[in-house]
Structure 1
């Protein structure tokens, strides 16, 4: 009888102990997210901030007591930094990694084949060698792509030009994502009888001189979502303003920093979209290898009113292509 009585007393104690452990585990859990960014500029910063705010919101909605710790590393455009930082992030064994832009994703993917990696601001994950298929990645990588409507952006620029000179296209040929967009631009131009003058630059020091040389030979300037171009928007905007050249950019943030207009991606929204995928990885234990790569769900017309007015263009007359 004593044994039975002890058993009856012990059961509630064990239950309370287990409940206490569970409660404690819930309160003390910290989600660790490594964040690797190639360089600092408006578009990539917006993607990161959108990701972090939305992921924290998603996790807190389900587990109010959980903490989210972001180990943010920015390589400032240096490949050596990128290699070192990717190793450091992987060594900390985070719950998952966010890789911002193609070089970041490629570098960190070489460091781990097991830690879940989600990307944002990558133009094409398959061509970058990050996934086997966009529908079924079959690697530890998935995420969101930032390939915008290049054809519609060129159409928009054509509507802003005032003469028959070629449209200028400037990009960094060492960025794979930029090369892909320029190829699309060439195809669209050929199909629609648009003349292009394409120039490639490899450093910020070359941007101003290259644009100054080509400015009198073009009717407007198109800039793809290119990290070097995005980092140089203030310089580009200044020269374009002096030469009275309309500038259409690959992203809204680039247009805000010195362009005239765009029909494109909002990177903060893209970061939030990536965060919803990350929430499935962390909260629902989804595996990136089974998560289809996503494209931006939001595209919109953005007009930099001040830049448009400086060119003698009525912002209200700029229409969605």
Structure 2
């Protein structure tokens, strides 16, 4: 590393992997790195070891919950696309959990890969060929950056969507379920403070979110012909009219 920094803060799995590859000495506070244990960024959540700590959004059933919510909102759903960047390590893990849930729900999951913005049209063409009737968007830096285009393309093709980031609903998507990412970055500041006051990254447990937000957009749902059941409306933390 050329810059002399005291602490590195990363967002997303790819950035965490890159920072880990760049230094083993500078403390790294990671935010939303996927499952940092399964991707071998840390030894364990309780005792990270090495120079990394922070906040992980990965929980055992989060990916499965997205499919469950989509199926609950669209009961006749039998085929759904899973859009992700294959270069994002956490995406493969989320797809694996989604496919496990799909077996129980009687849904066929079609993985759709998009490595760069120029592949967006091809991704939606693949969704059409797969005859997907719903779309799960895995939130990574690429899909997050393209969220406006993704939700517009999905709406144009009549695809109900769900993602793990509220910002997708703010962009016009139908539904999201996941932790608050702005809140996670605020919590990351507490890690930075502890590290600056002498704490060791190896000894600071990696925290997982304890509260998740269910956000729904009634206007987007109506345009897609989706009527949210009371079971979803009653659990929603925010309803956009």
User: Normalising to structure 2: TM-score of the pair?
Assistant: 0.87
- 2:84 and 2:143 in contact (8 A); partners too: yes
- 2:31 and 2:184 in contact (8 A); partners too: yes
In structure 2, what is the Cα distance between the partners aligned to 1:301 and 1:308?
14
Q: In 2 relative to 1, CA 191–163 (structure 1 residues): closer, same or farther, beyond 3 Å?
A: closer
Partner of residue 32, structure 2? 121
Residue among 83, 97, 117 paired with 1:184: 97
Partner of residue 19, structure 2? 108
- Listed as ranges, the matches of 1:123-162 within 5 Å are 123-147=34-58, 149-161=62-74
- 2:53 and 2:205 in contact (8 A); partners too: yes
Partner of residue 248, structure 1? 162
**Is 2:208 aligned against 1:291?**
no
Deviation at 1:291, TM superposition (A): 0.9
In structure 2, what is the Cα distance between the partners aligned to 1:131 and 1:175?
17
**Is 2:120 aligned against 1:202?**
no
Residue among 243, 267, 273 paired with 2:187: 273
Deviation at 1:162, TM superposition (A): 5.8
User: RMSD of the alignment, in Å?
Assistant: 2.1
In structure 1, what is the Cα distance between the partners aligned to 2:124 and 2:74?
17
Residues 129-186 of structure 1 deviation map (CA, whole Å, 9 limit, x = unaligned): 3212221011111111122511111111112226444111111112111111001101
Residue among 68, 88, 93 paired with 1:175: 88
Moved over 4 A (4+): 314-317
Greater share of helix: 1
Please, which runs of 5 or more residues in structure 1 have no aligned partner? 1-86
Greater Rg by CA: 1
User: Normalising to structure 1: TM-score of the pair?
Assistant: 0.66
In structure 2, what is the Cα distance between the partners aligned to 1:101 and 1:199?
20
Q: In 2 relative to 1, CA 193–315 (structure 1 residues): closer, same or farther, beyond 3 Å?
A: closer
In structure 1, what is the Cα distance between the partners aligned to 2:72 and 2:228?
12
State the aligned residue count.
231
Please, which runs of 5 or more residues in structure 2 have no aligned partner? 237-241
Deviation at 1:300, TM superposition (A): 1.3
In structure 2, what is the Cα distance between the partners aligned to 1:275 and 1:297?
18
